[in-house]
Amino acid sequence: MTSLPMTSLNGKKIIVVGGSSGIGFGVAAAALESGAEVVIAGRSAEKLKAAEKRLGGAGRVTGIAADMANEAEVSGLFEQAGAFDHLVATAGTPPPNHPIGETDMDFVRRFVDGKLIGAVMLAKHAVRTLNKAGSMIFTSGINKDRPPVPGGSVVSAVAGSFTYFARALALELAPTRVNIVSPGWVDTEMWDEIVGTAKSGYFEQMGARLPAGKIARPADIAPAYLYLMQNEFMTGETIHIDGGQRLV
């Protein structure tokens, strides 16, 4: 019996949009450990510098400042990064959470621009320099399966759309593979922004409910992204990695 070939990340170049923090930082760290060269992108040059320092990586990490809601900056990111093998997009900002009757439309538009339109722009400009044998991985999340009530409709719709974005793009871009990672709650800087010091209480309660018995750290989620980069038979798929959160 022959084993399924899992390609090595040695010598591969990976662009992680959102790599200066949270889940993306975890993916960047795991990819570096697996021998890859990593480009991290985000809006804040300062955050990128700090992340580059924390990642170490012996010259294999480059930070490039770019806002994925800005097409000229997205185009510039890929021009600067050059030819590469895998695109990972984890970038995102806290979602709108108002009851539908109190929806702040400017907030919703900014959120959709940053997350969904941003993903379309990343895909549009990545195809020029992405190795055709490589892959794209975008990030959705548990909010599509367990929407917060009230206020979860927009984030649920946006997160849910990624599954179908990947299915269509996987056909259009084949043999380039396109997949989605859908995490449950992950202990990242985004939670500090959303709930501040209440975070530990939220996590304790949710951790006790989860079959996995705890909230994930970015390092628990990163292997799902590495698997999707390395397994050449995975495409058009959404991997749920949520500690069983969809079951409770």
Residues making contact with ligand NAP (CB under 6 A): 17-18, 20-24, 42-44, 47, 67-69, 90-93, 114-115, 118, 139, 141-142, 183, 185-186, 188-190
> Measured from the CB of residue 94, what is the shortest distance to ligand NAP in angstroms?
8
DSSP assignment letter at 6: B
E strands present in the chain: 13-17, 37-42, 61-65, 84-89, 130-139, 177-183, 238-241
- Cβ atoms of residues 245 and 184 within 8 Å: yes
Q: Which is nearer to ligand NAP, 36 or 186 (CB)?
A: 186
Residue of this chain nearest to ligand NAP (CB atom): 92
Q: How far is residue 27's CA from residue 158's CA, in Å, rounded to a whole number?
A: 22
- Cβ atoms of residues 73 and 45 within 8 Å: no
Task: Identify whether 94 is preceded by a cis peptide bond (ω within 30 of 0).
Answer: no
Q: Which is nearer to ligand NAP, 57 or 92 (CB)?
A: 92
Q: How far is residue 126's CA from residue 108's CA, in Å, rounded to a whole number?
A: 26
Q: How far is residue 21's CA from residue 34's CA, in Å, rounded to a whole number?
A: 19
> Measured from the CB of residue 24, what is the shortest distance to ligand NAP in angstroms?
5
Q: Which is nearer to ligand NAP, 134 or 183 (CB)?
A: 183
> Measured from the CB of residue 8, what is the shortest distance to ligand NAP in angstroms?
26
> Measured from the CB of residue 3, what is the shortest distance to ligand NAP in angstroms?
32
Q: Which is nearer to ligand NAP, 6 or 247 (CB)?
A: 247
Question: To the nearest 5 percent, what fractions of the chain are helix, strand and coil?
Answer: 50, 20, 35
> Measured from the CB of residue 129, what is the shortest distance to ligand NAP in angstroms?
18
Q: Which is nearer to ligand NAP, 176 or 188 (CB)?
A: 188
Q: Which is nearer to ligand NAP, 114 or 134 (CB)?
A: 114
> Measured from the CB of residue 16, what is the shortest distance to ligand NAP in angstroms?
9
